Structure 1
Amino acid sequence: MDRSSALVPRGYVAIGGRGPEDVVADGLGRVLTGVEDGRILRIDGLSDPSAARVEVLAQTGGRPLGLELLPAGGLLVCDAERGLLRVGLDDGDVRVLADSVAGEPLRFCSNVVSLSDGSVYFTVSTRRYPLQQWIGDIVEHTGTGRLLRLAPGSDTPEVVLDGLQFANGLAPSADESFLIVAETGACRLVRHWLTSPRAGRTEPFVENLPGMPDNLWRAGKAGPVWVALAGPRVPPLDLLHRAGPAVRAAASSVAVRVPFRPTGTVGVLGVDDEGRVVHHLARRRSGFRMVTAVCAAAGHLVLGSLWEHGVAVCAAPGPK
């Protein structure tokens, strides 16, 4: 992988809530996010971060994570406590689309995409740990993440992929022939084919990433898929993942009890549909930590974080 370029900060927007875990941009350059107390927020005026405005659109009653704007209006929300939701952006109405799969309650829904045929794909990061103990799954390396599909008009998701290492961000290819799935615990992206003779197959897409991939966001069909790196690779963790299940479980039981503090190294990638890294931006000793999402809006890159109380606005890279 090529050497990184500098991730240059331009401003910070406090949003009055903790943990804007995902950020998505609409056609007007506004950014939507969800925070720890269940609110869905919209940030406007990002062309001048110092004058940006924040408004409340809805309250999910849970913990919103991944978001997806729908072409006909509305917002899909992966809620870690309530399942897959649809939120009305005009009236704040919240409707549960799915809250179980095969009789098991949906917990820790992570990221979601809607395709042109009306089907919805979304991830469940882990079936073993709640959001508050996410680090337990990263350490134990349980491989209980899933990719699910909700067919048009259905309220019953089907399991498309199982055994993923902390399934996280999702993005479609430009022609929707495959989905890109982030496996945070494996530091890689995989490709799941939806059409073509390879339909149903899953294969590596970008491996050995320099950090742990989190949410994905596509900057239009012609743009790259932006990948947030929630933290750098940790060599002792890579080594632990090769140990036996009992050792990993014991380490996990310790990890969930130790206060977590993210490092000051942050980064984002831009990836094309051939799996080439076209942008790699990074910053050491960053004051904005644990980048869990990135999107392009108002000529900038906007970063979200499970840790912070606002979003960071950074310079967008030049074309390559």
Structure 2
Amino acid sequence: MAHPPGTGRPAALTPRRYVGIGGRGPEDVVADARGRVLSGDEDGRILRVDGLTSAGPARVEVLAETGGRALGLELLPDGDLLVCDARRGLLRVRLDDGTVRVLADSVAGETLRSCSNVIALSDVTVYFTVSSRHHPLEHWIGDLVEHTGTGRLPRLAPGDTEPEVVLEGLQFANGLAAAADESFLVVAETGAARLTRHRLTGPRAGRSETFADDLPGQPDNIWRAPGGLIWVAPAGPRVAGLGFLHRRGPAVRRAAARVAVRAPFRPTGFAGVLAFDDQGRTVHHLERRHAGFRMVTSVCEADGLLVLGSLWEKGLAVCEPPAAAD
């Protein structure tokens, strides 16, 4: 059963500091066991930022270069990093020497050009999202307007070289996380403002249903705190006109998408994060309506604080943690 966010007023998202990365567009953020935060930028660099939560200056280290556009990240137990690259596909990066290896650059015979987010389960099975089969990353807004429903969830089993599509028809598939017991996955559908649960085990294995619907924003990346909550970053607020447009015919939506990709884009001052438990209940809902840090596309916890990434900004934002839930 879906549990929408509570109707009460969201708590304040309170910034503590901003840290530049010497580049632009740290779209995803993940924290390692030492509280360091890894991200990528629009030039394909993989970065590690240390000292984000301390009073002194943070240190930014370049670990690798993908040669494309780094998006979703997943740290592996052996220290390697899985990277979704919007131009090169699914990559595995050795952080000790920067070696980059392509794991998959096509899915079902199609070039993988909108690889978005990735996770690895304890048995080393890898799942990742493909946002759109029609629009590349730079035309992401076109897919949200056209409402193509061509997002996919492929799986790469241990030892396999070709991914298998296990779920499709998603509205701009984006963030991805697993349940604590790995019995299901949670997929963000940015274009539908919802989270979808795809079951991996039990009598309903292979089936999907809504996990959380009618979100207050368009969900982007998802990060699961070790042993804790599922954190979701809404990249922007809900746009009322999109719902009306999505009910129109395909020709109207395609025409509107062509206009949208040519129009100049500037994100609003909306910034927010959500946290859910494994039952789909909202535990935290934080917002800031006139934020200087815009288009929040990811969130993770590091040393008890929240670290935000953005497809738009030139750095990371560090924010106060939420108050304990009642």
Normalization by structure 1: what TM-score?
0.99
Question: What is the one-letter code of the residue matched to 1:85?
Answer: L
**Match of residue 135 from structure 2:** 129
Contact 2:53 2:318 (8 Å CA) reproduced: no
Contact 1:217 1:226 (8 Å CA) reproduced: yes
Secondary structure class of the residue paired with 1:77: strand
Secondary structure class of the residue paired with 1:51: coil
Of 159-168 and 236-245, deviating more is 236-245
User: Which of these residues, 230, 241, 261, is aligned with residue 236 of structure 1?
Assistant: 241
Confirm whether residue 275 of structure 1 aligns to residue 296 of structure 2: no
Specify every segment of 5 or more residues in structure 2 that has no aligned partner in the other structure, as ranges: 1-5
Partners of 1:242 and 1:32 lie apart in 2 by 39
CA separation of 1:84 and 1:39: change in aligned 2, threshold 3 A: same
User: How far does residue 49 in structure 1 lie from its aligned partner after superposition?
Assistant: 5.8
Matches within 5 A, 1:139-150: 139-150=145-156
**Match of residue 13 from structure 2:** 7
User: How far does residue 267 in structure 1 lie from its aligned partner after superposition?
Assistant: 0.6
Secondary structure class of the residue paired with 1:227: strand
1:93-145 Cα shifts (integer Å, max 9, x gaps)? 00001111122111110000000011000000001011111000000000000
Question: What is the one-letter code of the residue matched to 2:215?
Answer: L
Of 278-287 and 236-245, deviating more is 236-245
Partners of 2:61 and 2:207 lie apart in 1 by 42
Secondary structure class of the residue paired with 1:256: helix
Partners of 2:55 and 2:165 lie apart in 1 by 41
What do you get for the CA RMSD once the two structures are aligned?
0.8
Matches within 5 A, 1:71-150: 71-150=77-156
Partners of 1:8 and 1:260 lie apart in 2 by 26
CA separation of 1:160 and 1:6: change in aligned 2, threshold 3 A: same
User: How far does residue 3 in structure 1 lie from its aligned partner after superposition?
Assistant: 2.2
Partners of 1:213 and 1:267 lie apart in 2 by 10
Q: Work out the number of aligned pairs and report it.
A: 319
**Match of residue 67 from structure 1:** 73
1:246-298 Cα shifts (integer Å, max 9, x gaps)? 11111100000001000001110000000000000000110000000000002
**Match of residue 269 from structure 2:** 264
Partners of 1:203 and 1:11 lie apart in 2 by 38
User: How far does residue 17 in structure 1 lie from its aligned partner after superposition?
Assistant: 0.6
**Match of residue 285 from structure 1:** 290
**Match of residue 299 from structure 2:** 294
Confirm whether residue 200 of structure 1 aligns to residue 206 of structure 2: yes
Question: What is the one-letter code of the residue matched to 2:317?
Answer: A
User: Which of these residues, 49, 52, 77, is aligned with residue 46 of structure 1?
Assistant: 52
User: How far does residue 318 in structure 1 lie from its aligned partner after superposition?
Assistant: 2.5
Question: What is the one-letter code of the residue matched to 1:117?
Answer: D
Partners of 1:49 and 1:14 lie apart in 2 by 15
Specify every segment of 5 or more residues in structure 1 that has no aligned partner in the other structure, as ranges: none
Confirm whether residue 177 of structure 1 aligns to residue 183 of structure 2: yes
Secondary structure class of the residue paired with 1:236: helix
Give percent identity, aligned residues only: 72
Deviation >4 Å, runs of 4+: none
Confirm whether residue 313 of structure 1 aligns to residue 318 of structure 2: yes
Secondary structure class of the residue paired with 1:54: strand
Contact 2:12 2:286 (8 Å CA) reproduced: yes
Question: What is the one-letter code of the residue matched to 1:210?
Answer: P
Contact 2:225 2:300 (8 Å CA) reproduced: yes
Contact 1:11 1:49 (8 Å CA) reproduced: no
**Match of residue 3 from structure 2:** none
Question: What is the one-letter code of the residue matched to 1:104?
Answer: E
